[in-house]
Amino acid sequence: MNGNRIPCIARLLPPASVGCCPQCGQPLNDTRLGVRMSKRKVRIFDLVRHAGANGISTADINGIVYDGKASGDLVRTHILQINDLLAGTEAQIRSVHRAYVLCRRQQ
């Protein structure tokens, strides 16, 4: 492995957790790596995770999540907010060669 390459950890993570509402039993899909996120952040996190080592571009996230109607700054802001939420985990989203990749947090 190239020393400059940041290893993708998406395949090493457990499947996305799906909790259930204690009242009605309806599935709750808003928790990733033990962290609660908004539906939009979950969608972005899942896109990055499923992109694997190749990653996903800001433009692709914008096209999928916002139908191409958002700015790149909005996508980047959500990525930064997701990373803030993931601060207590060993995962983080990094930009590698203009694509977002889920990686192991650097010490």
More confident residue, 7 or 105: 105
Residue 77 has pLDDT above 60, yes or no: yes
Q: In the numeric block, which tokens belong to residue 66? A: 């916002």
> Would you say 82 and 4 are in contact if contact means Cβ atoms under 8 Å apart?
no
Rg (CA), the chain: 14
Domains annotated for the chain, with CATH where assigned, are 40-107 (1.10.10.10)
Q: Give me the residue label for tokens 């889920």.
A: 102
pLDDT of residue 62: 94
Residue 3 has pLDDT above 80, yes or no: no
Segment 25-48 mean pLDDT: 86
Mapped onto helix, strand or coil, the DSSP state of residue 50 is helix
Q: In the numeric block, which tokens belong to residue 99? A: 């694509």
pLDDT of residue 42: 92
Q: Residue 14 carries which side chain, given as an amino acid letter?
A: P
